[in-house]
Amino acid sequence: MNKPWLKPIFFDTLRAGLFPLATHEEGVVRMYHCGPTLYSCPTVGNWRSFLFSDVLKRTLEWGGWKVFQAMNITDVGHMRESEDSSSEIDPIQEKAKEKGLSPWDIVAHYEKQFFNDMDSLSMRRPTYVPKATEHIDDMVLMIRELIEKGYAYESNGNIYFSVKSFERYGNLSKNSIDNLDLGHRVDINADKRDARDFALWKTDSKHLMKWDTELGSDGFPGWHIECSAMVNSLFGNKLDIHSGGEDLIFPHHECEIAQSEAFSGKKLAKHWMHCRFLLVDGGKMGKSLGNAYTPSDIYEKGFTGAELRYSLIRGHYRQPLNFSFELLKDSRSALKRLQNFIQDLEEVKEVSFADEDFVKKYRDSFVNFMQKDLDVPQAIAVVMDLVKDSRKKGIDNIASSAKSFLSEVNEVLGIFVEQDDSGSQKIEEMIKERNKARDDRDWKKADRIREELLGLGVQIKDSSSGTTWNKMN
């Protein structure tokens, strides 16, 4: 049985307050974070949410908890409105038609890029990365049960969840059922008994990604049921933390709670945690505004994955973060300062007396800030104070304990890039793959690999004698 030493207190969106972490099993945390819909590369706004889940996982593991984390991939059913609001469009299918590929090819392409970006941002792989299409049978089982219990109904080949049948609908978003249509747009659909009902299963013979099941032919899932089915399949009724971006509170997470708890009769999760929006230069982010940056866009500007990661995690997750290139430059300076300090510590020779108490007070403060709702900005401030105060004091007698503490900091925040032989081998393999792409005149692939290398902090130079590389300062 695990005996964690860290006793975290987290803000719970559902209960609207700070509460000690409570789990189904002592010393074990089961957590689920809503991942990307892979019809394009996730933006830095998406990555803020994903990296929040990474810091959460790292913090718990550092604190002695055994963590089982899932982050899904939505590869079907996440519909969006057409520009004239007259119909719904599957963006994966739309991209497939645009590129002349199958939807599965589109997902495979962006899935590879997603994991490359994850690696460049030093995000640890979740325990599970399930895809919605791998859980169709689980969705069908849940939908059948919801129909039998009277929570769902069939209409014109589609199946909808009756919002009025679940009295707690709206509790997460603090939105009553009666007032729901006043605060949010709802679909006007003649197939629904109530405009606020949401789709569990849809039927469309023209849809490219479709399944013949006991629910009927040419069917595909609604977006919300996918996460409920994956959570139930992986964790049953023992989910401790459900997290995601604040944009998912309504309708996605609200609908998840309704269908999952109607299905099982038990709470979907003990804690709900949400990361706030990312602003860009003080305003909204959007493709139409030309500021929906992806990690590759940032790397093209000469910044590294470590600098981007630091920029995205340095604010408190429950506060909006203003992203800018000035922020990236400031992050570069901060990381350089920390790296220089670490390098100076490494050069200290053995000393006869080690002052362990000096560093302990900084570590204690770091622990307190991280266990109280992941207060990353205050935790980083503690680390910077250590650097400043150590310079004044002299580092000879504190080098060993300072290195040990900074190793813990990196375990939690993942902001120091550690290059080893396996990393060098990976870089050489990527350069070899890029050179082959250039020989094949596949310039798009060659450029993509170059951007991935930049994300790893690697600068390459092509010459008549070959390609050389070096780590960027």
- Return phi, psi of residue 406, to 5°: -65, -30
pTM, entire model: 0.88
What is the reported pLDDT for 423?
62
Most confident of 237-246, 341-350, 447-456: 237-246
Tokens of 21: 């972490």
**Band of residue 177 on the pLDDT scale cut at 50, 70, 90:** confident
Parallel/antiparallel/unpaired status of strands 241-245 and 271-275: parallel
pLDDT of residue 460 exceeding 90, the answer is no
pLDDT tens for each residue of 227-284: 999 999 999 999 999 999 999 999 999 999 999 999 999 999 999 999 999 999 999 8
**Band of residue 185 on the pLDDT scale cut at 50, 70, 90:** very low
Q: What would the DSSP string read from start to end of 75-113? A: -S---EE-TTSSSEE-HHHHHHHHHTS-HHHHHHHHHHH
Domains of the chain: 25-275 (3.40.50.620), 279-413 (1.20.120.640), 421-471 (no CATH)
What is the reported pLDDT for 421?
44
pLDDT tens for each residue of 75-130: 986 776 545 445 678 889 899 999 999 999 999 999 999 999 999 999 999 999 99
Per-chain mean pLDDT for the chain: 91
pLDDT tens for each residue of 268-327: 999 999 999 999 999 988 888 889 999 999 999 999 999 999 999 999 999 999 999 999
Give me the mean pLDDT over the 164-175 stretch.
Answer: 95
What is the reported pLDDT for 175?
86
pLDDT tens for each residue of 401-431: 999 999 999 999 999 875 444 467 778 888 8
Buried b (16+ CB within 10 A) or exposed e, 184-196: eebeebebbebeb
From CA 207, how far away is CA 209, in angstroms rounded?
6
Give the Cβ contact number of residue 256 at 10 Å: 25
What is the reported pLDDT for 418?
56
Q: How far is CA 67 from CA 30, 131, 257, 373, 434, in A?
A: 6, 20, 22, 17, 37
Cβ neighbourhood burial of 147 (10 Å; 0-12, 13-18, 19+):
middle
What is the reported pLDDT for 349?
85
What is the reported pLDDT for 238?
97
